[in-house]
């Protein structure tokens, strides 16, 4: 997996996929930190609020196309689209392609 270079949305998808179950913001954030998926850069508020906002905006704007779905109040899980995106983000081919592009850009 590529470390520290995921967007918040990608990091949340991977964290939820890794956990394999519906989770609250603290559990999602702890998984992100444990797996070193995202390093915040001077963001206001708390990471848990950023996670909650990212999920809520996706559900509100993308509807059935969101990678997330609400399980119950404050608890979220991956939708079928999210599960597919998780597979794409964690596939060796995706990671290898990303690393090749990233290395070329750093040149």
What confidence tens digit (pLDDT) does each residue in 49-73 have? Answer: 999 999 999 999 999 999 999 999 9
Inter-CA distances, 55 with 24, 34, 77, 95, 98, Å: 11, 20, 10, 23, 24
What confidence tens digit (pLDDT) does each residue in 72-102 have? Answer: 999 999 999 999 999 999 887 555 555 555 5
- pLDDT-derived band at 4 (thresholds 50, 70, 90) equals low
pTM attached to this predicted model: 0.79
User: Which of 23, 79, 80 has its CA nearest to residue 52?
Assistant: 23
Quick one: pLDDT at residue 20? 94
Span 3-28, average pLDDT: 91
């Amino acid at each position: 997996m590529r470390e520290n270079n995921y967007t918040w949305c990608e990091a949340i998808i991977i964290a939820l996929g890794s956990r394999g179950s519906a989770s609250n913001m603290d559990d999602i954030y702890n998984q992100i930190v444990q797996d070193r998926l995202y390093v915040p850069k001077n963001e206001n508020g708390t990471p848990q609020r950023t996670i909650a906002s990212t999920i809520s905006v996706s559900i509100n704007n993308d509807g059935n196309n969101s990678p997330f779905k609400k399980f119950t109040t404050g608890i979220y899980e991956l939708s079928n689209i999210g599960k597919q995106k998780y597979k794409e983000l964690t596939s060796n081919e995706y990671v290898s392609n990303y690393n090749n592009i990233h290395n070329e850009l750093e040149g």
